[in-house]
Structure 1
Amino acid sequence: MKKLKILAIAVIIAIILLFAPGFFLSKAVVNAASNKESVQPKTNNPTDKDTLIELAEQKMPVLKGGLFDRFHSNSPMDIVAKERPDIDLSWFKTIQKQKKEVGFTTYSPNFYYSNSSITAIYTADMSKIKELIPEKVKGLVKPISYTPGKGLIAITSYAYHYCDNDFYNELSISIVTTQPGRSNWGLISLMGELNDKNLWGYVLKLPVDTELARVRGVYGYNLPKWLIPINYTNEGNSLTFNYYDEKGNFDFSMAGKKLDVSASTPEITRSNFINLNKQGQLTHGYTDVRAIKKASSKSAEDIQLNLSDGPLSTFIRSLGLNKLVKYDYQPEFQAALYTPELVQEEKK
């Protein structure tokens, strides 16, 4: 009886949230890009600021004397504290790293000490979403059905200012899914994940702007990473990320308004991802994110995607983005990224 009452309350709340004026139903702001500049594409050629290393049988440049050059993802806390006394390391000191072999030797979790991000969650065409998820993954998790014919796409721009991989920028385009084995109750499922601070998704695109981040992501985490130029700016009233194709031509930009974060209190949320390794086996990885400063909005005016005819822009258009569900502005957060483990599949 108690469970039925809780479910009934959840249904009522979901209906109110779905139809309340202005809540979750703002139109997506997707503009034609006016910014057409090009940049020099990234290369694997080291400069005098780099050290050439080998990882996963591939040679690549890393920052000379940087954290990865010296410690290979196992940075001592006392060294980090000495070099960045402005960063609160108390959370990281509660986490024990473990040595892992993932095609190369690493230590899990990977620590991200100081970072910023903006996220936009949109409704999108469910038929297209279903096409993009491998059948084996769909047997474990389902794309959340937000409204009839609509699923959810999360687009996040990350700036990792200081981490075990030194620093880099990243774009994530992912499908919001149910938890493994859970029924798809649409908005109720979404609200449940948000309430539990335990989110699930399938990553579609994850380009980065350093070769170190690309190789570690592809070989260590089974993630769809490739190398492109990315420019991050923190100026005026917004955080802006400009993305380019592999030849250095402008592709698209994502600009998020700086919201009031004065009421923030630190909280930890887990973001889980299901994917397939190179042997076609299901794997599960996750990131624990400690939000230090964060605010959210449901106004489509607070986040803009400016698209061109580039490959990422073309892909975003193909998703049929429709309504903005939520915008998250996170100017300061920390994270611990764990290496994926094999999912124990049920024998048929």
Structure 2
Amino acid sequence: MKLKYLTSAIALTSSSLSLVAHADEHTVMTDIDIAGYSVPVEAGGLYDRYRSNPPLSVIAESKPELDLSWFKTLDKTQVDIGFPSYSPNFYYKNERISVVFTADADKLAALIPDKVAAQVQPLKIWPGRGLVVLTAYAYHYCDNDQYNEIALSVVTNQPGNGNWGPLSLIGQAMSGDYWGYVLKLPVDTELARVRGVVGYNLPKWLTAIDFDSDETTVTYTVADEKTGQPDLIFSADKLTDLSTDGEIVTNSFTNLNHNDELTYGYAKSRLMSYATSTDEANVRLTLGDGYLSDFIRSLDLGAMLKYEYVADFQSALYVPQPLSVLLSEQ
């Protein structure tokens, strides 16, 4: 897949994207304290009222069209992750686009901290080439209100399992349990940033992410946090012939907590409507000259192996646990 590049002229003539969270101009905001941070949230929104633990009856009353049956099978637990919260965090109505690229395996390995690298390494699809996944999320309705997110991750083996390259990748696909190391994770609300950084030690920062959808295409435009100008444009086709079988998949990550201790976290997702493609023409990735685009260029992206269009999914994000817990169960 050929990457496109934003020219200075395009960047200068495009409307600047505000670094402030995307909110309806009529939305009233209020500040709350999370781990010592003053965080603006929607006044009277789900997070303002329930701090990640809204009753499902409230969700059903607000969005009667949603199927909440899966969430009724999941139990929330009160946790302390640097601030009081509940796990898992529920995402009721969402969509995403994901692309798997090959990338320079040595460069990917160098980005994984030594402690983490002792447990996981990039899966090599062929000699010298690892895999990265670029995913754009639109969380339309969740315990954290509404926000958009861009995730860039290295595909790795599961901790405690061998790294057998393509065989490990096939095994993860067959089990529906995918593992990675998160490299970058910009978001467009301060609530999502603070919760992610403090509670999960994830590489989040705040910038504007514009989500646009029409009959045939979905597009995410990410601003550079320093200039506010468009940096990365990730656009893809809305695939047809969608599966609606409600497949459950798990996306897990290995990480270090704030005490430099090994942890793992995961999200389980119920895919309500989705399709995949290997046609590079379905995806358009345009890089600018900001921080995120420069970082992506440094990975030496190559062929696109898979595109996944998920028109509708639900998810449950669990707080990280010590990696020793997972290893002891194997």
TM-score (norm 2): 0.93
CA–CA separation in structure 2 for the residues paired with 1:62 and 1:308: 30
| 8 Å CA contact retained: 1:111, 1:164 | yes
Q: Which moved more, 1:33-42 or 1:167-176?
A: 33-42
What amino acid sits opposite 1:29 in the alignment?
Answer: K
Task: Give the AA of the match of 1:40.
Answer: S
CA contact (8 A) 1:29 1:303 kept: no
Aligned to 2:297: 317
CA offsets, 1:89-121, max 9 Å, x none?
Answer: 000000000000011000000000000100000
Residue among 103, 107, 115 paired with 1:128: 107
- Larger gyration radius, structure 1 or structure 2: 1
Confirm or deny that 1:106 pairs with 2:85: yes
Change (3 A) 1:29 1:88: farther
Matches within 5 A, 1:67-106: 67-106=46-85
Match of 1:32 in 2: 5
Q: Cα 1:76–1:257, aligned 2, differ >3 Å: closer, same or farther?
A: same
Residue 307 in 1 paired to residue 280 in 2?
Answer: no
In the TM superposition, what are the counterparts of 1:192-271 in structure 2 within 5 Å? 192-246=171-225, 247-271=227-251
Gaps of 5+ in 1: 1-27
1:9-68 deviation digits (Å, cap 9, x = unpaired): xxxxxxxxxxxxxxxxxxx23111264221222179x99610110001110110011100
1:291 pairs with one of 271, 276, 281: 271
Separation (CA, whole Å) in 1 of partners of 2:246 and 2:305: 23
Worse-superposed segment, 137-146 or 107-116: 137-146
Q: Is the 8 A contact 1:218 1:225 kept in 2?
A: yes
- For residues 6 and 66 of structure 2, the distance between their equivalents in structure 1, rounded to whole angstroms, comes to 37
Counterpart residue number, 2:45: 66
Equivalent-residue separation in structure 1 for 2:304 and 2:297 (angstroms): 14
CA-atom RMSD in angstroms: 1.8
Q: Distance in 2 between matches of 1:48 and 1:141?
A: 43
Contact 2:21 2:207 in 1 (8 A): no
Detail structure 1 runs of 4+ shifted over 6 Å in the superposition. none
Q: Distance in 1 between matches of 2:297 and 2:263?
A: 29
Letter of the 1:171 counterpart:
I
Alignment of 1:6-45 (within 5 A): 28-33=1-6, 35-36=10-11, 37=14, 38-42=16-20
For 2:6 and 2:282, locate their aligned partners in 1 and report how far apart those are by CA, in whole Å. 17
Instruction: Give the one of 138, 162, 170 matched to 2:117.
Output: 138
Taking the aligned partners of 1:108 and 1:183, their CA distance within structure 2 comes to 30
Residue number in structure 2 paired with 1:152? 131
Instruction: Rate the CA distance shift 1:222–1:165 in 2: closer, same or farther, 3 A.
Output: same
Q: Post-superposition shift, 1:235?
A: 1.2
Work out whether residues 67 and 165 of structure 1, in 8 Å CA contact, stay in contact via their aligned partners in 2. Answer: yes
| Distance (whole Å) between structure 1 residues aligned to residue 57 and residue 259 of structure 2 | 39
CA distance in structure 2 between the aligned counterparts of 1:271 and 1:322, rounded to whole angstroms: 23
2:21–2:208 Cα contact (<8 Å) kept: no
Other-structure match for 1:17: none
TM-superposed deviation, 1:196: 0.3
Q: CA deviation at 1:143?
A: 0.8
Aligned partner of 2:269: which letter? V
Structure 1 letter corresponding to 2:231 = D
Helix, strand or coil: the match of 1:344?
Answer: helix
Kept in 2, the 8 Å contact 1:144–1:176? The answer is yes
The one-letter code of the counterpart of 2:89 is: N
Matches within 5 A, 1:262-281: 262-281=242-261
Measure the CA separation in 1 of the matches of 2:164 and 2:253: 19
Unpaired stretches in structure 2, ≥5 consecutive residues: none
